[in-house]
């Protein structure tokens, strides 16, 4: 257990730069469970519980926006029982945590299509977003029923419905019409579970994000693992196409 009395930034002095927006592909729940001889559902439960560690740590580090990839548009092709389990977990998470998230100043956002999610869960998501909309400690953006390509399709449809002439369409406009509209682009994308792919996550917004992958399964990704990702980020030279600084 890290000593909670010492401020987090003093405990990890190599973390010298804090990304404004961290986006995490929370992968490896199934393998975490399998390694313990448990059903995949137990991995998803442990993964959900893990937010209790990672969200406060990110808040303490001073991250402004934490996006978590919780359910992709592609995850509908998993067995029905697993899909149902993941839906139930989000509902339980909101029910169990909403009050304390609100008390801790967490602003909850949803990125993804509400359409397709069961109406009761839709209502829970909308309630959580509405209740916490003015909170300022950190924004927790939950990518649920999220797909980067679906998001771009939704944005283009809305732009066309709004009757924009072609020459009015700019990068800024498309960004504004995405689910993440008013949020800054991610500075750091973290993937747990050892794979090196985006899996349709924030494909527009992460165009210039730094990428960090770790073999740690999501339920094992704790404060120290987050600090490692931030340490690595601190050492990156973000050039945005310009010539190097030194
Ligand atoms: C990530 O863990 C959670 C979701 C995709 C919903 P996985 O369920 O993908 O775990 P692995 O990759 O099979 O280990
Ligand atoms: C990405 O993980 C989606 C989420 C973490 C919600 P997956 O396990 O679904 O991704 P693939 O199948 O390995 O690309
Ligand atoms: Mg996976």
DSSP 3-state helix, strand, coil percentages of the chain (rounded to 5)?
50, 15, 35
Indicate the SS3 state at residue 16.
coil
* pLDDT value of position 2: 61
Closest ligand to C-alpha of residue 34 is 1
Phi-psi region of 108 (alpha: psi -120 to 50; beta: other; left: phi over 0): beta
Is the minimum distance from the CB of 75 to ligand 1 under 6 angstroms? yes
Q: What is the DSSP letter of 208?
A: G
* pLDDT value of position 228: 98
* The pair of three-digit structure tokens given for residue 167, joined into one six-digit string: 């020459």
Return all residues near 196 (Cβ < 8 A) that are at least 6 apart: 213
Is the minimum distance from the CB of 26 to ligand 2 under 6 angstroms? yes
Is the minimum distance from the CB of 28 to ligand 1 under 6 angstroms? yes
234 touches 17 (CB < 8 A): yes
Closest ligand to C-alpha of residue 189 is 2
Indicate the SS3 state at residue 39.
coil
Q: For residue 25, which phi and psi values (nearest 5 degrees)?
A: -90, 100
* pLDDT value of position 208: 98
CA of 22 to the centre of ligand 2 (A): 17
**Sign of dihedral through CA atoms 59, 225, 71, 148?**
positive
* pLDDT value of position 5: 85
* pLDDT value of position 170: 98
* Site to substitute for ligand 2 among 74, 146, 191, 202, most atoms within 8 A of C-beta: 74
87 touches 117 (CB < 8 A): yes
51 touches 89 (CB < 8 A): no
* pLDDT value of position 245: 79
Residue with tokens 């490896």: 28
Is the minimum distance from the CB of 194 to ligand 2 under 6 angstroms? no
177 touches 13 (CB < 8 A): no
Sheet holding 210-213, edge to edge: 106-111, 138-146, 65-72, 21-25, 188-191, 210-213
* pLDDT value of position 169: 98
How many CB atoms within 10 Å of residue 51?
Answer: 21
Give pTM, 2 decimals.
0.97
| Nearest CA owner, ligand 1 atom 3 | 27
What are the CA-CA distances from residue 130 to residues 106, 126, 127, 135, 240 (Å)? Answer: 12, 6, 5, 10, 36
Domains and CATH numbers, the chain: 16-106+117-146+214-224 (3.40.1180.10)
Q: What is the residue-level pLDDT of the chain in tens, covering all 246 positions?
A: 566 689 999 999 999 999 999 999 999 999 999 999 999 999 999 999 999 999 999 999 999 999 999 999 999 999 999 999 999 999 999 999 999 999 999 999 999 999 999 999 999 999 999 999 999 999 999 999 999 999 999 999 999 999 999 999 999 999 999 999 999 999 999 999 999 999 999 999 999 999 999 999 999 999 999 999 999 999 999 999 999 977
Is the minimum distance from the CB of 201 to ligand 1 under 6 angstroms? no
């Amino acid at each position: 257990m890290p000593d909670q009395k010492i401020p987090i930034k003093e405990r990890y002095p190599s973390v010298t730069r804090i990304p404004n927006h961290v986006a995490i592909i929370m992968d490896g729940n199934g393998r975490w469970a399998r390694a313990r001889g448990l059903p995949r559902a137990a991995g998803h439960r442990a993964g959900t519980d893990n937010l209790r560690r990672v969200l406060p740590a990110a808040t303490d580090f001073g991250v402004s926006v934490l996006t978590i990839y919780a359910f992709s548009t592609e995850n509908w092709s998993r067995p029905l029982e697993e899909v149902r389990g993941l839906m139930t977990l989000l509902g339980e998470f909101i029910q169990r945590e909403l009050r304390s998230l609100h008390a801790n100043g967490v602003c909850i956002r949803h990125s993804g299509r509400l359409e397709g999610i069961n109406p009761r869960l839709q209502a829970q998501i909308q309630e959580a977003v509405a209740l916490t909309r003015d909170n300022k400690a950190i924004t927790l953006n939950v990518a649920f029923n999220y797909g980067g390509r679906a998001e771009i399709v939704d944005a283009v449809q809305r732009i066309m419905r709004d009757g924009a002439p072609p020459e009015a369409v700019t990068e800024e406009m498309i960004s504004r019409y995405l689910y993440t509209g008013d949020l800054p682009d991610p500075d750091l994308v973290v993937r747990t579970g050892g794979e090196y792919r985006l899996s349709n996550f924030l494909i527009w917004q992460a165009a210039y994000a730094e990428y960090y992958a770790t073999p740690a399964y999501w339920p094992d990704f704790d404060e120290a693992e987050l600090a490692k990702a931030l340490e690595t980020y601190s050492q990156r030279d973000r050039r945005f196409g310009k010539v190097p600084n030194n």
